Amino acid sequence: MTMQKEQILTSEEIEILQELMNIAFGQSAADLAEVIDTQVVLSVPFIKLMQVADLPEYFKNHVKDYKNINLVEQKFWGRFKGDALLVFSSGAGKELITLLKHDEEVSLESDPVDILERETLMEVGNILIGACVGKIAELLQDVVTYTPPMVAVEKGYQEAISGGRYDPECTAIVLKTDFCFEEGDVTGFLFLVTSNDSGTWLREALKLFIEQYE
Amino acid sequence: MEMIKKILIVDDSPIARKMLKSCLPKDRGFEFHEAGNGKEGFDKYVELRPDVTFMDLTMPVMTGYEAIDEIIGHDKSALIIVVTADIQMKSIKKVLDSGAYMVLKKPLKREEISSALVKAEDTLQKAN
């Protein structure tokens, strides 16, 4: 397993990818801050190579303290392709409704809360995922397209994230960042999962990126 | 007159430090020092008294926000240029209010670094 990991990305390539994730999520947070009334507190991103079979356990370990999770998922594909999973803590949907700046009064009374919650999560997810994945792709001279976001509201981990979604033979490159909001009780993780299918292109793109700074 | 000789780069990412150094003019004979987190950055600031400090914000052990507070608390005239991916208006305002000299957005561009250095040198000249 170690040999396989070494073949996918070197430690320097992982460091470059980590810096790209840092830049990209910074862009996401800035875009989100345009529409919410609070600051997104960022943390140091983390890159991990692992067997796809180990992914469910890895996700579970990160969200185990959440009673339920809210999940926004989008697949993206270009030469950089994979799956973006944005996980929010329990209750985040309702918190986000109050944090979002609406041009009109939020119609909490007229609209069913579950619909509003789903739409809010979808909107926030779209901003965070789109800006982050889009920025990484841009920095690596790529263009990606996305599937429409899928949203799971207040689900148990097992229900929201199924184990059999990825090819177990593949190695996954997981880009993870966690965040919280300065106000409101909202925390979460963004996982970008890309497989070794993108490996050859990714190594070349990372090399081209860092060459600008040689 | 060239006022900047000693430069401290504080960033947890070795790649980010390398990227920053590569954007600085090669013919100036700068003396570079590096730190991998805010705490180390503050300690090196006290020890070395750099002319300019480039500071990331999102770092382990001690964040850039905290390190700026520590450095400015120690030396009000410290010239700190924040280099960050965190470009939220509130983040920028917070560090400028804390006494940072200016904020540059990652990924860096050579022209931005050059004009930041010219501005910093001008400020140092006026202060002396």
Residue B18 belongs to domain with CATH number: 3.40.50.2300
B73 lies in a domain? yes
Contact call for A26 and B89, based on CB within 8 A? no
How high is the pLDDT of residue A5?
Answer: 45
B82 lies in a domain? yes
Give the pLDDT confidence of B13-35 residue by residue, as tens digits: 999 999 999 999 888 899 999 99
Q: Where are the domains of chain A?
A: 2-211
Give the pLDDT confidence of A104-125 residue by residue, as tens digits: 555 555 556 678 889 999 999 9
Number of domains making up chain B: 1
B11 lies in a domain? yes
Cα atoms found within 13 Å of the Cα of residue A114, Cβ hemisphere only: 4
Question: How far are the Cα atoms of A7, A20, A186, B85 from residue A14, in angstroms, in the given order?
Answer: 12, 10, 29, 18
Pairing status of strand A46-51 against strand A171-181: antiparallel
Nearest CB to A22; choose among B23, B58, B88: B58
**Please, what sign has the CA dihedral across residues A101, A103, A105, A107?**
negative
| Contact residues, chain A, for B90 at CB < 8 Å | 33, 39, 182
Contact call for B60 and A44, based on CB within 8 A? yes
Give the residue numbers spanning the domain of B95.
Answer: 6-121
In chain B, count H helices and then E strands: 5, 5
Name, of A36-50, A61-75, A160-174, B105-119, the range with top average pLDDT. B105-119
Do B38 and B9 contact (CB within 8 A), yes or no?
no
What is the predicted ipTM? 0.91
Spatial neighbors of B22 by CB under 8 A, at least 6 apart, are: A213, A214
How high is the pLDDT of residue A93?
Answer: 87
Do B59 and A44 contact (CB within 8 A), yes or no?
yes
B42 lies in a domain? yes
How high is the pLDDT of residue A94?
Answer: 87
Q: Is B89 on the interface with A (CB under 8 A)?
A: yes
Coil, helix or strand at residue B13 = coil
Homologous superfamily in CATH for domain A2-211: CheC-like (3.40.1550.10)
Cα–Cα distance, A214 to A7 (Å, whole number): 23
pLDDT tops 60 at residue B122: yes
B126 lies in a domain? no
How high is the pLDDT of residue A1?
Answer: 42
Share of chain A above pLDDT 90, in %: 43
B41 lies in a domain? yes
Cα of A27 vs its chain's centroid, Å? 13
What is the pLDDT averaged over residues A178-182? 89
| Contact residues, chain A, for B12 at CB < 8 Å | 44
B127 lies in a domain? no
Q: Which A residues 39-68 touch B at CB under 8 Å?
A: 39-40, 42-44
Comparing alpha-carbon positions, the chain B residue that sits nearest to A24 is: B85
Model confidence band, residue A75 (pLDDT cutoffs 50, 70, 90): very high
Contact call for A210 and B15, based on CB within 8 A? yes
Amino acid at A108: L
Q: Is B66 on the interface with A (CB under 8 A)?
A: no
B27 lies in a domain? yes
